[in-house]
Structures are given as structure tokens and as C-alpha cells.
Structure 1
Amino acid sequence: MSDQNECVVSIEEPCALRTDGRAASTSEDDQSTEIDNVSPDEADNMDVRIRNLKKLVEEENQEKTTDGPNQSARPPKIQKVPFILRDREGFHKCYEPRVVSIGPIHHKKPNLRFAEQYKPKLTAMFIKESKQETEALYNVINDRIQELKDCYHEDVVKDYDDKTLSWILFLDGCSILVFIHGFIHGKLKYFKIKTDHIAFTQHDLFLLENQIPFQVLRLLMDSTPPSFKTELKKSIAQFICANVMAPVAFKKYLSFDMDKLDPIHLLDLLQHVAVLSNKEKIAIINGSEHQTQQSFRNVQELKAAGIGLIPNKFCSLSDITFYSFCFKGWLELPPLIVDDSTAPKFLNLIAYEGCPDNFRTNYEITSYISFLDSLIDHANDVKELRSAKILHNLLGCDEEVASLFNEIARDLVPNDGHYKDVKIAIQLHYDSRWMTWIAEAYNDHFSSPWTILAFIAALVALALSGIQTWFGVFSPSDPCTNCSACTRK
């Protein structure tokens, strides 16, 4: 029997590696946390409350004496979407997987069972390419399960024993790597995965509740031959670039080092790459300490104040710049594709930034959406952004796009430091009334090439008329009437 067949058989017989139940672990660690999960009646007991507080004090003291890691340096744990975001009407489906569950949160949901049939096939292919024995590759994950388990919020994994969780992470990790590699190289047809399922799976891989630790992918890739590992890393990088929400032509400047970014999971990697700046910010301001209140409300008002919109050549959402020349101002914005995937991606990125223990984020995506929302009030604002080739609307009518960004941005709290200089520069230009008057005159009377040509023609005609009048009044008399020869005759 070939090695490939051995791999398939061992995958199809997971009973030796997997436990059927989700029995809670009876380890000493679980017993030590029983005092935290007290019933309402027990919570009334003052001794229990004091004991819990003493435990917290001991943990604080231990962290200080051991010079433990700063809270801001701790990676956020994989968890459910915060309730304040999930409860928003109309968007709860954007956090739910459509065809496949990844990780423990949505595991064994009835509506996601169909995709489970592909995981053993994808995993078998990975085992074949890794040139490893099935048990050896599984143990790469199982031997590190405590470390990997700590990457999840305790509420997410409390109902899973270590063996079950190891199997989930092993199967999902292998499946993700083969899926991404097959997606990039057009090999998913080998597994007879339908086109719509491929699209939905791509969507599901960037949901906050559908993440596995990137460490799982690293461990599995490190267990493969160097050449295949290199292919897998390149495929992941290309897959992330493919999911950055910008036109393909603008992604040629997009480059990143995946090892230096050290992502927590795929969604975290997408967040890093989406805001990875490739140029210096430009904002011409009279005094960096200038403070002003934003009074402009949308693109239409900026246009009336002589501020135009142009796309920059980068696709990073943090690359927003402003500069002015004479009476005209220019706001450069990154180009953005708006389609069916826009809302789920942005909402899950925002949810990830809003996780209670995510201290590594500076709310870049949240701040970008808030800034874009400050430019969009109505369909006409979307039309201007679309005409400037900043928004590429593949979703529907402009009114639908305007409503989408207004709803996504509702109740968001951005980082005030992002785009601060840009906002100040725009406001200073907006507040310069003489610039506004010139701009209004320009927009009212020179909005098309024909009006400009008509104005130039009128100036030429006026100049010619003036020259003709001047020669008619001030031209010298006829020399024949005044010369001395004619006078003597």
C-alpha cells in the first residue's frame, strides 16, 4: 500500500486520536478556578469575595516581581465578537460562517456539516506533501496543546478536552494550508469543491470567530520539506494580498514580511497588511499644534470649498494625505473596492480591534471607516468618490453604498490621533473664505472645458476690441494732410 493511501486511511479513522465527547478537563488547573465560577448564593458569601480579591492581588504581585510582560504586549485571545457589536441590527450575519467552521467556536454546527467532508481530503493531501507520518504530524499539535489552548478565551474552549481540541486544530490547520495553496494555484478543482463554496470559504477564513492560532500553521509548515514550506508561505502572502480590498493595479506596491509581522491569526495578518503604510504622510499645516473643530460634513462641502479628490497609488488604508496649491486643495485617498465582502471584512476587523484584551491595536481600521464616514452622507458623495476612482462600486446603487458606510461607522470610537494633521489641514483650507469664494466661482463658471474656452474667447475678443478702440482714438493723423509739401501747394 502506498504512503498516500496510508495517510488517507489514518485520517478517515480518527477514533484513535480523537475523543467523542467534550468532557470538561479535571486537571488541577480547572479545580483551581472553581472559586471564580461561584453561584449567586455563594457570591453572597463575603469569604468567597475576599478570597477572589486576594487571588487577584497575588497575581498582580507575582507579575511585578517576575517582570512579566506588559499588558499591552500580550497578544489578544481568540474570542467571540463583543456583544455591543453583534447586537447591531442587520449585521449579525456578517460574523457567522456560511459554509465552514474553523476552530472550536462554531464546531459541529448543523448548518456547517457539509464542508466537513472536505477537511479529511485536504488534510490527507497535506500529509502526503509533508512526507510525515500521520501520528507524528498530529503530535506536533497535540504536544503544544496547552500553549495553543491559551490562545483562546477560556469561555471558548472550556467545553473541549485537550484531545478533541488538538484534533480540531490539526484538521483545520492542514485544511487551511492546502485550501490557500490550492486557491492561489488553481488546484481546488482536484477536490471537487464548487466555485460558490470556494468563495464562501474565502469569506469564512476572515471571521473573528472562525480563527485558529497562526502558530498552528507555523508548526505544520515547519514540519514540511523546505521547498514546500516556501510555497505555502508565498501562497499565504498572495492570499492575503488577494483579500486586501483594493483594485489589483494598486497592489503592486504591496509588500510585507510575514515573519516580522508575527500575526496572531489570518484576520490579524489581514489587518496588519491593510494598514501597512508605504509612504510618508503629507499635510501642509500652519503650525503643528493648531487645534480646530471639524465643520465640513461631506464630499460635497469639500468640493464647494475647492478641495478635490484623487486616488493615491498605494492601497494602504492609512495612506490618506492632503496638500494645497494656490486656491485649490487635494485630498488623496486609497482606492477601495466595495462589494458583498466589504461589510463582513470591515465589521470583523473592527470587532477584532474592539476585543477587550486587544491592546496591540491602534484602531486603524476603525479610524479609517470613521474618516470615510465623515466624507459620505448621501449618494452624491459616493458618486464623487466613484468619479474620482477612489470607490469602485460593485455592490449596487450609490445610495446603498452610502447607507452601508453610515451603518458600519455608527457608534464607532476612532483613535483621534489618526489623520489628525490631515483633518486640521482640510479645516484650515475650508475656513479660508477667499479660497472658498475663488473655488465657488471656479465651480460655478468653469465646471466644464467649454465654459473655460468660452471665457478665453471672450477675453480675446475683449482684448481685440480694446486694441481697435485704442488705435481709433490715438492713432496719428494722415501724413498727407499735414506735410509741408502739401501746405505749400
Structure 2
Amino acid sequence: MEHSALTPMLEESDTGLITRSNSEIQERFKIEERDNLFKTLEESEKQLSGEGNRVSRPKIQREFMGGKVEFERYYWPQIISFHPSDRQSKGWRYKEAWAAMYLKDTNLKVEDLFRELWEENTWSLKPMWLKLYDNPRGLYASSLIVDGCCVLELLEKSDLWVDPEQELKISMDKLVRVHQDLLIMNNQVPFQLLRLLCQDQERLQKCLCNFLQVHGIKVETAPKLPRKKRENEEVKVAVDGDDDEDPVHLLDYLRKALLMRGQHTIYEAINLIPMKRGSLHLRKYRIGTIRELKAAGIRVTKDSHNSLYPSFNDGMLQLPKLIVDGSTPYIFFNLVAFEMSPDFRNNFEVSSFLVFMSSLIDQPEDVKELRMAGIIINELANDKEVADLFNKMDTILVPETLFFAHISLQIHSHFESKRGRIRMLSWMGEASNTFFRSPWTIIALLAATLGLVLTFIQTWFAMHPKAS
């Protein structure tokens, strides 16, 4: 009896203890959650502001732009892949052969290279190499050596005075596609790796000049490489326009070459002009087609500078010379993907330029005008292919950058004073595209006109019969 009477009392006591214990646990969890949130926010703020972020540059990553299926082929290698997970790609035979050629030519010792890449007494890569990749899984020292030596051998034997079919043992059509593979954002190798494998600065600079020449870029615009950084030296946050930093990879080097014309000078000049901030929305630069510009009295000429920066002054629009061939979409689409990378601070120069050009080019006639002015060098089948290419670029959306917003404002101000003339030429252009785009449309127009004339004559004689 006593035992049974005490049982409810013990159960009530235990319940109270459990309730207080649960309450204390919940309170402790709340405090821990609050402290963890505070620490997380503080660490994120330090990372964003650069404190404690010693290596913050664009990584080798799989990134692409668009969403249309037709764009995907510009983001995947055709023959040679340098991604760690693609070690058995169909171009692996070329990679190994060219790597062997490079090691033989340079007398590099594989064991020395492994020591540079490996941690001491382990089979893992040094942390600095892992930090260069967005996803370093499957990354091995052997694949890094093969990839880097392959790229250097390919670039070295791409000199204009070298027969690549004889030296690299590959047909010319495949070699063209291999060079396109070097442009792909998903297929880059870190420039630090090329530095490691090519200790001769002049030799490395020559390889980079060959890379530019292959893609139609004058070597005069080739950025000079800065001095080699010491091991464990701090790497700055990647900012567009840094001259004392190595490029991230070959695609970054090509972009620097395209933007060589003093971008700092250009932006300093624009910053002197008071301009209010534009919309924060992504947008397109609707300037007007080349025919509309001509209707407004704007002259379009070739810029003497080797740069992607257009300029507008006193009714004259200067545009850079542009070679359009089979590699052009690979260059531009992957440069756009690079500029859209989340860890690359830049002013979207290439993306803005493409949006600008897509506004100027609507029909093959616009391409013809630019070709006649010496601005576009068309190495495709016809002007329609060039127009179609730039019309694809119309899907690109960019923030309103100060440089192109300034040019857009200048051109639109000029348009306002010539609005009537522009409208008249636009109607004439639409009529030309509708009725004179081919011999058959001209014949149909003449037949319809003749039919209307005959109908009018018949009606007139019916209403005014000759007096009998």
C-alpha cells in the first residue's frame, strides 16, 4: 500500500524534472543557434569584404550562359577535355603524346614535378592546387602534368612557321577543333600550372602570342606577363584591369588582350561626366541598326585601336575591326560565361559589346555596311550567317555599365534631332526587305503592279466608252 501510494508522487516529481530539463535544453539550443548565426554572419561579412580571404580568384569551373539547347555545343570540348572527370576522353591519346613531346623537349623530370604538386609524405595534392578548382574531386598530379604539358606543346607548335600536321601528328581539321577546345570555359587549365611547367618567361610569352594569333588577335595587343610570384605569396582578389596579376587561364588572357586599350583612361574620362545611376534591372542596349544610324547622319568608321571599346563623337561611331569565323561564337559565348562567373568582379565589357553589336546588326544588309566599312571581316559563307550569329547574342542581358550607357545616351540624343528622317528610312528599309529581298519577290511585285495597272485601264475604259 505504501509503495503504491508513493508511486504517483514519484511520477509527478519525475515529470517536473523532465519538464524543467526539456525547457533548459530548448533554451540552450536557442542560445547556441543565436551564437552560431552571429558567427556565420560575421564570417560571411569578412569573406565578402576580403578579410581572411587570401585566395579569391575565379576558379576552374563548369559554367555556361544561356538556356537554349543550341548554345550548349559552344560549352563542351569536341576532341580534348582537360576536366579531371574526363580522363578517358577520346582525345587522351593526343594529350599523352603531346605531353611526352614537351617533357622530352624541355628535359623536365617527372619526379621533380610531382614534388612540386604533392604534399610531402602523402599522396594528396598541395592545398594551393585544390583551391584553383571549383570542384577538385578526381584531381590527380598525373592529370595536371599531362594537361599542362599538352597545352604548352600545342601552343608552342602552333607558330605560323611550324607545320602542325608534321610536328603534332594531327590533321588540320582536328587541330582547328582542338584550338576551339582551348577557348571553352569548362575546359581551362590554371595558368599557375603553365607557369610551373614552363620556367622560361620568354618561352611562355611566345606560347601565349601563338594562342592569340591562332584566333586572329594581333600579338601587339598581347599583355605582358608580370614577374613570377614567389611561393605562398598572397594572391589578390581578382579585379578587372589588374596589370600585376597573372591571368586565371587562357580564356582570361584572351579577354585581357581584347581589352588592352587603356580601359582605366576611358573610365576615368567617363567618370568626369555627371550621370545618374541607371536601372538596376538587367537590360539590352537598344541603339538602332546600322541603316538607322546612317539615316540619322551618323557615320560608322573603323577604329584604329585594337580593342573592343567603341566610341562616339561628333556624329561618328567608331567600331573595332572584328574577324568573324567559325571560332567567333566559341570565343564570345565563353567570354560571356566567364564574365558571369560569381567570383569574378568585372565591368561586363565583352557582354556589353555583344549586346551593343546585336542592336546594330539585324539584317544581312547591316553586315554588308559594316563589311564595306572594313569593320567586319567575314570569313563565313555569307552575311546572313554573321547576322544570325549576332541575333543569337540578343539573348544576353547585362547590368547597365557606365561606358555603354554613356555611348547609348550620346547616340539617342543624336537620334532625337533626326527622328523624322529615321522613320522615313525605316519604312523604306522595311519595304526593301519585304519586296526586294529576292528576284522572285521583285517579279511578284511587278506582276501585281502590272495587274493593278491593267485593272485600272479596263475600269477607266468601262466608265468612259468611246463615242460610236
Which residue of 1 is the match for residue 10 of structure 2? none
Residues 256-284 of structure 1: CA deviation (Å, up to 9, x unaligned)? 212235101111111111112158659x9
Equivalent residue for 1:407, pick from 389, 392, 417:
392
Equivalent residue for 2:74, pick from 79, 83, 94:
94
The structure-2 alpha-carbon separation of the partners of 1:52 and 1:270, relative to structure 1 and needing over 3 Å to count, comes to: farther
The structure-2 alpha-carbon separation of the partners of 1:395 and 1:106, relative to structure 1 and needing over 3 Å to count, comes to: farther
Q: Which whole-Å CA distance do the structure 2 matches of 1:122 and 1:60 have between them? A: 44
The structure-2 alpha-carbon separation of the partners of 1:210 and 1:424, relative to structure 1 and needing over 3 Å to count, comes to: same
Amino acid aligned to 2:298: I
Q: Which whole-Å CA distance do the structure 1 matches of 2:366 and 2:30 have between them? A: 59
C-alpha displacement at 1:345, in angstroms?
Answer: 1.1
Which residue of 1 is the match for residue 225 of structure 2? 258
Which residue of 2 is the match for residue 317 of structure 1? 308
The structure-2 alpha-carbon separation of the partners of 1:303 and 1:151, relative to structure 1 and needing over 3 Å to count, comes to: same
Q: Helix, strand or coil: the match of 1:309?
A: strand
Amino acid aligned to 1:314: H
Matches within 5 A, 1:357-372: 357-359=343-345, 361-372=346-357
Q: Helix, strand or coil: the match of 1:322?
A: strand
C-alpha displacement at 1:65, in angstroms?
Answer: 11
Asked if 1:74 is matched to 2:77, the reply is no
Which residue of 2 is the match for residue 168 of structure 1? 143
Aligned pairs, how many? 365
Matches within 5 A, 1:331-370: 331-359=317-345, 361-370=346-355
Matches within 5 A, 1:164-203: 164-184=139-159, 185-186=161-162, 188=164, 189-203=166-180
Amino acid aligned to 1:107: R
Q: Which whole-Å CA distance do the structure 1 matches of 2:180 and 2:128 have between them? A: 27
For the Cα contact (< 8 Å) 1:141–1:216, is it kept in 2? no
The structure-2 alpha-carbon separation of the partners of 1:301 and 1:314, relative to structure 1 and needing over 3 Å to count, comes to: same
C-alpha displacement at 1:296, in angstroms?
Answer: 4.5
Equivalent residue for 2:96, pick from 120, 125, 135:
120
The structure-2 alpha-carbon separation of the partners of 1:307 and 1:261, relative to structure 1 and needing over 3 Å to count, comes to: farther
The structure-2 alpha-carbon separation of the partners of 1:421 and 1:183, relative to structure 1 and needing over 3 Å to count, comes to: same
Which residue of 2 is the match for residue 378 of structure 1? 363
Equivalent residue for 2:116, pick from 128, 140, 148:
140
For the Cα contact (< 8 Å) 2:355–2:396, is it kept in 1? no
The structure-2 alpha-carbon separation of the partners of 1:218 and 1:52, relative to structure 1 and needing over 3 Å to count, comes to: farther
Residues 352-371 of structure 1: CA deviation (Å, up to 9, x unaligned)? 11112222x21111010011
For the Cα contact (< 8 Å) 2:300–2:317, is it kept in 1? yes
C-alpha displacement at 1:253, in angstroms?
Answer: 4.5
Q: Which whole-Å CA distance do the structure 1 matches of 2:293 and 2:266 have between them? A: 20
Asked if 1:130 is matched to 2:109, the reply is no
C-alpha displacement at 1:48, in angstroms?
Answer: 12
Q: Helix, strand or coil: the match of 1:409?
A: helix
Q: Which whole-Å CA distance do the structure 2 matches of 1:131 and 1:315 have between them? A: 38
Amino acid aligned to 1:88: K
Q: Which whole-Å CA distance do the structure 1 matches of 2:173 and 2:248 have between them? A: 28
C-alpha displacement at 1:344, in angstroms?
Answer: 1.3
Scaled by the length of structure 2, what TM-score is found?
A: 0.69
Q: Which whole-Å CA distance do the structure 1 matches of 2:86 and 2:68 have between them? A: 20
**Structure 1 unaligned runs (5+)?**
1-44, 444-489
**Structure 2 unaligned runs (5+)?**
1-28, 120-124, 227-243, 280-284, 429-468
Q: Which whole-Å CA distance do the structure 2 matches of 1:75 and 1:269 have between them? A: 14
The structure-2 alpha-carbon separation of the partners of 1:288 and 1:63, relative to structure 1 and needing over 3 Å to count, comes to: closer
Scaled by the length of structure 1, what TM-score is found?
A: 0.66
The structure-2 alpha-carbon separation of the partners of 1:296 and 1:132, relative to structure 1 and needing over 3 Å to count, comes to: closer
C-alpha displacement at 1:435, in angstroms?
Answer: 11
Residues 4-57 of structure 1: CA deviation (Å, up to 9, x unaligned)? xxxxxxxxxxxxxxxxxxxxxxxxxxxxxxxxxxxxxxxxx9999989857734
Amino acid aligned to 1:90: E
- Once superposed, what is the RMSD of the aligned Cα atoms? 3.6
Equivalent residue for 1:204, pick from 181, 198, 212:
181
Residues 130-189 of structure 1: CA deviation (Å, up to 9, x unaligned)? 333221123323346321111111xx333x1xxx52111111001111110011151532
The structure-2 alpha-carbon separation of the partners of 1:130 and 1:137, relative to structure 1 and needing over 3 Å to count, comes to: farther
The structure-2 alpha-carbon separation of the partners of 1:50 and 1:77, relative to structure 1 and needing over 3 Å to count, comes to: farther
For the Cα contact (< 8 Å) 1:86–1:95, is it kept in 2? no
Q: Which whole-Å CA distance do the structure 2 matches of 1:308 and 1:65 have between them? A: 45
The structure-2 alpha-carbon separation of the partners of 1:49 and 1:180, relative to structure 1 and needing over 3 Å to count, comes to: farther
Equivalent residue for 2:202, pick from 215, 230, 235:
230
Q: Helix, strand or coil: the match of 1:366?
A: helix
Equivalent residue for 1:240, pick from 181, 203, 212:
212
Q: Helix, strand or coil: the match of 1:81?
A: coil
Amino acid aligned to 2:156: H
Asked if 1:306 is matched to 2:297, the reply is yes
Amino acid aligned to 1:148: W
